[in-house]
Chain A
Amino acid sequence: MRRTHAPVLFLILIALGAAAVLWWSRPPVPAPEPERLTVAETLGGEALEGYARAVELRIFRFPADHGPHPDFRTEWWYFTGNLHDEDGRHFGYQLTFFRVALSPEMPERTSVWASRQVFMAHFALTDTAGERFHHFERFSRAALGLAGAETTPFRVWLEDWSADSEPGEGFPWRLQARENGVEIDLHLESAKPVVLQGEAGLSRKSDEIGNASYYYSMTRLPTHGTVRVGEGEFVVTGDSWLDREWSTSALGEGDVGWDWFSLQLSDRREVMFYRIRRETGEASPWSAGTLVAPDGSARTLGVDEVRIEELDRWTSPRSGVVYPARWRLSIPVEEIDLLIDPRLADQELDTTVRYWEGAVRAQGISRGEPVTGLGYVELTGYSEGKF
């Protein structure tokens, strides 16, 4: 998807590893960071052999490629969106399904519980007016229908959280998730064609061949539905964004995390950019992005074309982790210059892997005209970076 897959992969592996740590441990006890890393390393360590790798260009076919690619080690369906009810009350949501293969193959087993595919899902709701950020995490093996992904009709789910194609093929899609009194039930249309990221969908993340993913996005998905928070029920509309990425290995040596931006601008353009952060503090040359025109045509943004300035920092009261909190993003050749603000400062997911992923709003100039934008920003590797 967006960000570099290397860290993403890492993130997921860490997540699964940490899930291991979590199984019997109670949620309120966060495992110390180094342990997460240790477990991640052991989980992800050696076994790349046997999996498919993102090495060559491939032909993307839809709707088939909305479905799973189980030969790759990791894969995700990443939905984010900004929604408003008729009074203008704002909600941001994130619903993400991660698929992870635990081994490239498995011996014949008699128990149907045996599975080499595992799913993790994150569900978050930003209640801007209520100044609350709700987030939840789930794991399940892909067995007995508890979790899985299917192509025809398209469907990915983890228990009763799901994204599926309503008519069976193609759009609209329906997203459903609920937990602990927080619920979304959304219908997504597609306003623009699929955008293949990187080089025709092959997104390289480091110098090493094979450290790459297959990556496409759907950058503007008009959305309507309902949001429930506690006693309140809101009829909402807005736009969603889908990132799809699958890979086996992506992490570059010396990369610590990434900052990922997705913005839907009022001039009907969309910007995606990820900056891979190196240990040295500078951006990896493999950082990249895409600019999508109102007609759906897209052009790649190189690392030198995009300038990002951090204007503020925010310290998590839970974890003590310091994240950047306000940005100026400019793309001089496209005459874009934006100030980006989080809708809430605290949109940190205190999940197995700790990261910040939040709804943002932007305002500034595009081609000389004032413009506003809505989007999501993801910040990873800040927590681990402390150690």
Chain B
Amino acid sequence: MSLILEDVDLQVGREMHIDRASLELAPGSFNVLLGRTLAGKTTLMRLMAGLEMPTRGRIVMNGHDVTRLSVRQRNVSMVYQQFINYPGMTLYENIASPLRLAKVDQEEIDRRVHETAEMLHIEHLLERYPLELSGGQQQRTAMGRALVKDADVILFDEPLVNLDYKLREELREELRTLFAERHCIAVYATTEPSEALSLGGHTAVLHQGQVLQYGPTEEVYRWPNSTRAAEMFSEPPMNFLDGEITDSSVIIGERYRLPDNAGFLHLPPGSYRFGIRASHISLIPNDDRDIAMDVRVDLAEISGSETFLHVHDQQSDMTVHLAGIHEFEVDDEVTLYFPVHKVYAFDAQGSVAHVPAYLGES
């Protein structure tokens, strides 16, 4: 079971909601669609489901062209961000409804509903009605309905957004194990890079209706193919500094001169944008070659046991992700260090030119 999107466009009025999206989802894969709101995640899912027809392009499922087939003729299921259940039916009937419509016999329905409910830990609630339950339980019911039929493609449209933090973690973990032994294609939309990373599988980075990059999640994270993809797939976004590479030197932001052996000199000379991840900048040097930057603090945001430090120097604004709680006053002068071997370089068109070598860490 594979799902292939070939140059799919969706035009509404004059706006391109999806712009030449091509994806090839492998059988049994877990895929994350990562992008900000309005990036086209939901629309792309609706196209995959058949709720929306593409303006141009082809959608091929398992070797068959399904571009013009409606939802009911494609074997898909979907879980929404809102908790969508049939309020007039018990949980049992809610989960059983796709099977009932598929004319599965009662014994089989009974077995599968109980099996699914058990997986989702809602077995004791089967006689209740959805609106009597908590949000987490309602969403589990919706997932149950999606999982109970052997759909070829299961689509999750930010299913955990409306749940509280703790529940989200819990359900996310369960979701991964649920899919480990299934052979269907799962597609999961999220706005959070960290969620994509923890879900693993493959990731497609979306921006303004375009698929910027698709590949195994970790690879996409480590080797972003453009400044956009790098920006989308890091939270807080990657910091970019303009710089120059000449025959003999690499200068970032006109001030920071990289040592010759940092691995950039093989690049053709010219203007580049250098990217540094927020989490790679630190308060103390880890290496003799680390570059020191003198910056001023705009804001120190403390979130849990982490600190997001917003700083600026003469040329650019940067965000630093520090472990632990650090308190800074506005306008404090700080010296920060970034390691030269973790700097990305992008050419003038925004395509990646240099990716730092990773030694098992991220």
Same complex: no
Question: Contact residues of B with A, CB < 8 Å?
Answer: none
